Amino acid sequence: MTSGFRAFLLLLFISLSSLLYYSNLNEKLTLQKCHTAVPRRNLSILLWHWPFGRSYRLDGDKCLKMYNISGCSLTDNTSAVSTADVVVFHHQELGEAQSSVLHQDRPASQHWVWLSMEPPVNNANLAQLNGLFNLTMSYRRDADIPVPYGKTVLGGDELSFKAASNRSCLVGWVVSKYRPHQARAGVYQSLKEYIPIEVYGKWNKKPLSNKKLLPTIANCIFYLSFENSEAKDYISEKLWRNAFQAGAVPVVIGPSRATYEALAPPGSFIHVDDFKSTAELAAYLKHVARDRQAYESYFQWHHTHRVRTYTDWRERLCQICVRYPSLPASRVYRDLESWVNS
């Protein structure tokens, strides 16, 4: 091969590959253009009952205006049942009286969503719901539409650290429904033998208004984020709002340490399971309260992480539209009861 011919081949190769590259790129560009030029049809979501009977306004494009989620239309008008893409049923309102609703005909492509933010013990009569639902929506990470009470996001916040010595209460707890058989009740009864615990809420006849809740807890060095039951991924506003938003260090009862590690900010909590006895837990709390460095270490995460809470049912409903494109087109929860209790 002469060097001229070699150079010719090289040139040919370069021009051919760049030609290929650009035609590929062009194809991508035109595809993208087509995609954005045709507006996607709205996904229509019907909420069958408002959870616990408290309704919110749905007029206008709420998902877009409130949460910047487009193509998502919400309604609570049950006449839309024959046209909605998705129908959402909140578990608590699905009593016996509603069973006729559940056995009505539905369009073949419509998805029915089972929604509950409660742990399994509070979801009664699940067996009658087997084989009716296509999707699940709950705080669980493995739900089709996961809607946690809160989550950890990257990027610090500006919480100013309040030293333990500047707080007037060692341990605080807000409880409205105290049940002696619950694990948390046993831990509380035993822990209070060693250290003072300030109890607020309906049970102790010291209810706190929404306005007073966080400022009251902010006076406490620790807060008992004790879930009413220990269930997979069940971490409620008792952690996200009551402890983290108030700036008290949470002492937790709930799912395993591994679950808290996966979901809560790093180094942000004290897990009851880590102690052999409540005496040991009490001694540890007293130690941390006296040791400024130890206490401050539970606030390190504020430099790198923030927590975000979710409370509005509309935001949860809008999440269906975010998840919808990646959900299975067809699915049935034949044994919803086992799924919930797993």
Nearer to ligand NAG, 73 or 116 (CB): 73
Among 290, 294, 332, 341, binds ligand NAG (CB under 6 A): 332
Nearer to ligand NAG, 42 or 190 (CB): 42
* Count of alpha carbons within 13 angstroms of residue 18, beta-carbon side: 5
Among 3, 36, 109, 209, binds ligand NAG (CB under 6 A): 109
Q: Is 118 a catalytic residue?
A: yes
List 93, 118, 158, 280, catalytic entry: 118
The DSSP symbol for 51 reads: G
Using CB under 6 A as the binding rule, whether residue 330 contacts ligand NAG is answered as yes
> In angstroms, rounded to a whole number, what is the distance separating the alpha carbons of residues 278 and 220?
19
Helical spans, DSSP H, in the chain: 3-37, 62-67, 99-102, 183-191, 210-217, 237, 257-263, 278-290, 292-297, 313-323, 336-341
Nearer to ligand NAG, 29 or 163 (CB): 163
Which range touches ligand NAG (CB under 6 A), out of 3-11, 23-31, 129-137, 216-224?
Answer: 129-137
Residue 232 CB, nearest approach to ligand NAG (Å): 24
Centroid of chain to Cα 142: 11
Among 36, 100, 166, 209, binds ligand NAG (CB under 6 A): 166
# residues near ligand NAG by CB under 6 A: 19
What residue type is assigned to position 159 of the chain?
Answer: L
Among 73, 123, 225, 242, binds ligand NAG (CB under 6 A): 73
Among 17, 32, 77, 189, binds ligand NAG (CB under 6 A): 77
> In angstroms, rounded to a whole number, what is the distance separating the alpha carbons of residues 122 and 94?
13
Among 95, 131, 156, 267, binds ligand NAG (CB under 6 A): 131
> In angstroms, rounded to a whole number, what is the distance separating the alpha carbons of residues 64 and 72?
8
113 Cβ neighbours under 8 A, 6+ residues apart? 86, 87, 88, 89, 133, 134, 135, 136, 137, 144, 145, 320
| Residues marked as catalytic | 118
Positions touching ligand NAG (CB under 6 A) are: 39, 42, 61, 68, 73, 77, 79, 109, 111-112, 131-132, 134, 162-163, 166, 330-332
